[in-house]
Structure 1
Amino acid sequence: MTASLGAVLLMLCLLQIKHMFADFYLQTPKMLSGRGEYFHWGRAQHAGVHVIGSVIVFLLFGAPWSFILIIAGLEWIVHFNIDFAKASYSDKKQLSPTQAAYWRAAGLDQFMHNLTYIAMVWAWVKFTT
C-alpha cells in the first residue's frame, strides 16, 4: 500500500461530499417515488448519479479507466440494492419519519453506503497505487 494517508482521507471525504449531494440534493421526484418495487427506473437513475460522482473522484486521483469502470459497475449494483432493501423494509413496516424504526433503517442504509466507500478506497489503494 503506497497511497498516503492524506490521499486516502481526502478520497473518503470527497466520496462523502458526493454522497451528501447525490442522496440529499440531487434526487428527483421520480427517484423518490415507488422505491419499494425492485425494478425501479428512478432508483437506477439515483444509483447512476452516485456512480458519476465517484467516477469524478477517481479521475481526480488518476485511477485507470479499467479500475474506474469496474468499481463504478460494482458501486451501482451495491447502491441500487442497499436502497432497495431500505425502501422495501420501510414499505413493509409502513414506516414514517415519526417512528424510531424509520431512522434506524435510514441509519443502517447510510452506514452500508459508508462501508461501500471504505471498500472502494481500499480497492483503489490495493489495485491502483
Structure 2
Amino acid sequence: MPAFDSAVPLGPLTTLLLVMAAKHYLIDFVAQTEWMARGKERVTGWQAPLVVHAGSHALATLGIALVFKPALWWIALVDFVVHGLIDRGKAVASHRTRFAMTDPRFWWLMGFDQFLHQVTNVALAVLLVLG
C-alpha cells in the first residue's frame, strides 16, 4: 500500500472512479433483470441468478481493465467473487432479519450493501491506477 503522501495520478484515478461508479449503476440497477434481482435473494436456487449478476459485473470490469490496464484483467475475477459475496451476505442478512421496506433498518442494510460495493470499486480503481 502506498504511503498517504505518495503521488497518485488524480486524472486517471478520478476517471476510473467515475467509470466504476457508472458501471455499478448500470449493471446493478439498469441491466439487472427481475430474474436476477429476485432470484439471488431466494433461500434456495439463488446460485444461477447470483452467478449471472456477479458475472455481469465481472465482464464490465474486464472491459474496463482491458481499456485502462490489460495486464490487470484478473481484477474482473476479484470483482466477481467480492460482488457475489456481498450480495449473498445481504440476502442472508435479509432472510434472518426480515425487515419490512417501511423499517429504516431495511434501508440501512441496502445502503451498507451499496457502500461495500463502492469501497470495492474504489479499491479496483486504485489497483488499476497504481498496479
Report the TM-score when normalising by structure 1.
0.86
Q: Which residue of 2 aligns with 1:43?
A: 50
Choose which of 26, 34, 38 in structure 2 pairs with 1:21: 26
% identical aligned pairs: 30
Distance 2:123 2:109 in 1: 21
Report the Cα offset of residue 121 of structure 1: 1.5
Q: Deviations over 1:63-89 (max 9, x none)?
A: 12x411x20111100000000111111
Q: Which residue of 2 aligns with 1:124?
A: 128
Unaligned runs of at least 5 residues, structure 1: none
Q: Which has the higher contact order (CA 8 A, sep 6+)?
A: 1
Report the Cα offset of residue 112 of structure 1: 0.4
Q: Which residue of 2 aligns with 1:54?
A: 61
Q: Which residue of 1 aligns with 2:80?
A: 76
RMSD, aligned CA: 1.8
Q: Structure 1 runs of 4+ off > 3 angstroms?
A: 36-39
Q: Deviations over 1:21-80 (max 9, x none)?
A: 11111111221224244752101101111112112222222x12x411x20111100000
Choose which of 33, 39, 43 in structure 1 pairs with 2:38: 33
Report the TM-score when normalising by structure 2.
0.85
Unaligned runs of at least 5 residues, structure 2: 1-5
Task: Say how many residue pairs are matched.
Answer: 124
1:12 aligns with 2:49: no
